[in-house]
A and B are shown apart, each in its own frame.
Chain A
């Protein structure tokens, strides 16, 4: 029997089997995640097709500037993540550390911007309770647009749950990055020990892809005027 690979867990026969299992495990997990978001997306699609006017009206009020910036941030973080995977497989330790750190930083930036956005939404009255509809000017505005309060609340519920669930996943991802950074600094990531980086990378890209779907669905259904961009500044 050949000498055992130092990383080999006792229940695997060889290191290739172990790596294959770990990677397949992450892919299978991501498949279940697709179904979780899929359930939400289905609910959203149903109501979006029934109440197009109401949903578009609220969507137009969302902060598309922050949404756009966040998209750029997240896409860039996927780039740094991919570079981290490249770095660990080619033994570039500093590049790995920088890549992981940048990814975590960009992810955190996304969350910070999201928090700012949630606060701005709250100030704008875009929260799923009836408070916004008590103010007379809001009532007139919604009535002029022939939009119903319940449907506005429905949209906002989907908005917060979908982006909230996404943010939770992103937070977990940042936690994973932190763990990887600790391991990278401890020197336990190498071309031999690259699978943790790879599977976390898969997870990170998935979180990014979910956002790519969320953005147009939630933010871009209504028409946005150029003035909208300055409205939020």
Chain B
């Protein structure tokens, strides 16, 4: 049994396994990949899949922004435009943002970070990938044979009665992929409960694990309601029964309640794992213990719980009672508090740290800046009188892109770069990565900051033409989008390049704490030769004797 008692960041314990034997070269051939139960290989399978979906969704976004360069919608016609933004939303939300960090970085590192050899149910893990592929295939097929034009929110009665596009196959694909999410969440929850290494108490878990755990709770409890909401729309379309059609006795608002009951917690599925990554990156690259561990950990749980109580803030102008709207407004402010706590704690972690400007940290700082701005605009939206004006305008679009792109995607990039040497045994090129981070940051701001102004001016969302006085801001936004596109293509190129030509990486190139850095890069199939025994909390970058009390 190997024991980890005193961790000294600079020393690197030699890998105890056969040199050269790792999860990548343990077996070769397509079958060994397609029938694998190794969580690391499954993570790589997912990585390829979600990257494809990201670039497909990004292609739709490119066409959208190109069309919006002129006010008269000259690039594509209205129907095509409507299909493009629907495709962008559907692919990005369900096939990229919701899964990406859990299924790529979570699948790869959750077992390693808790000292386990695999997840609790490895075959279920593989099944979840196949279910995901199946759902994605359905949806992509629906998009290819004519598209769907309801918007990713599928509001009734337009989606259930009016739209003449491929609603049913798209919804089917989404429902199927939902089961993949549920399987992943189930696996994570059981693994964290039952398979922590001896000595790894809940209070010693890395914050990335806390955030994945909170995310999994949401995945498990919210996704089934989405499955039901979308299935009811399918039933209404097939059988022409008036579940949501007022002329047949139904209520269109019921759909909105069922849909947002899932979709609001879903946005926390997207951002919570990103926050977990940021905690890992800040501590490693400031080489300092996290400030306020308990608060940050409980903030994740708090966000998960509160996220279920705010769904109707998407419906402030939709026709709910005034007092109901007020309750949801207050609760929406409440859910902002734990996020704020995290941001302050990260800032405090940098204080008197030793900050190294490697690419992962740049991405993490980018997250903090952009997520904070996006979150602040959430406070605008929680104010009923303000939301009344900016709801369904570009203000909303800017708000959620700041959080999902400026937040989640930045965090994902940071995590991907951080853990890339561990996953592949290769370092990415540092210069290019810093350039990419900078380009992404600048491109992002130029794309989305003008959209706040556009929204307040009143430009509604999902418009393929607009009044000419809005053109300058739209052109700025489209220009930014082209820069952003370059920023995302760069890592695609240099990360793939690094697989063949990157500098070989040792077990712990960052000098980070964490069980995953105690293994070779890339890790052997079983991660650890023997289950580690943990006697230490996470982020112990300094000796215990030097503990200082602050405030």
Residue ranges of A at the interface with B (Cβ–Cβ < 8 Å): 10-13, 17, 20-21, 24-25, 28-29, 31-33, 35-36, 38-40, 42-43, 46-47, 50-51, 128-129, 148, 150-151, 153-154, 157, 161
Contacts and interface: CB of A to CB of B under 8 A. Distances in A.
Interface string B171-211: 00000000000100010011101110000000000000000
B118 A11 contact: yes
Interface string B373-387: 000000000000000
Interface stretch (B28-36, B241-249, B352-360): B241-249
A127 B506 CA distance: 68
Given A21-B120, A24-B194, A36 B228 contact: yes
B225 interface: yes
Given A39-B229, A157-B241, A32 B220 contact: yes
B232 interface: yes
B258 A43 contact: yes
B424 interface: no
B181 to A, nearest CB: 10
* Interchain residue pairs A-B with the least CB separation, the first 5: A39-B228, A11-B118, A35-B224, A36-B224, A150-B249
14 contacts: A10-B117, A11-B119, A13-B531, A20-B193, A28-B186, A32-B223, A36-B224, A36-B228, A40-B228, A46-B254, A47-B249, A150-B249, A151-B249, A153-B242
Contacts of B229: 39
A35 to B, nearest CB: 4
A39 B243 CA distance: 13
Contacts of B232: 43
A18 to B, nearest CB: 8
A51 B243 CA distance: 13
Given A12-B195, A25-B186, A28-B190, A154 B224 contact: no
B392 interface: no
A150 B120 contact: no
Contacts of A38: 224-225
B250 interface: yes
Give the interface SS of chain B, mostly helix, strand, loop or mixed. helix
B65 to A, nearest CB: 36
A32 B190 CA distance: 14
A11 B116 contact: yes
A150 B242 contact: yes
Interface string B38-54: 00000000000000000
Contacts of A36: 224-225, 227-228
B248 A35 contact: no
A157 B220 contact: no
Nearest to B1: A1
B492 interface: no
A32 B249 contact: no
Given A51-B249, A128-B239, A153-B241, A32 B182 contact: yes
Contacts of A29: 186
A25 B190 contact: yes
Given A11-B526, A35-B223, 16 more contacts: A11-B116, A21-B193, A21-B195, A24-B189, A24-B194, A25-B190, A32-B186, A35-B220, A36-B224, A36-B228, A43-B232, A43-B243, A148-B249, A151-B249, A154-B248, A154-B250
A154 to B, nearest CB: 6
A155 to B, nearest CB: 10
A188 B21 CA distance: 36
Contacts of A25: 120-121, 186, 190
B472 interface: no
A50 B254 CA distance: 12
A42 B194 contact: no
Nearest to A12: B195
A43 B118 CA distance: 40
A21 B239 contact: no
Contacts of A24: 189-190, 193-194
A135 B239 CA distance: 21
A35 B221 contact: yes
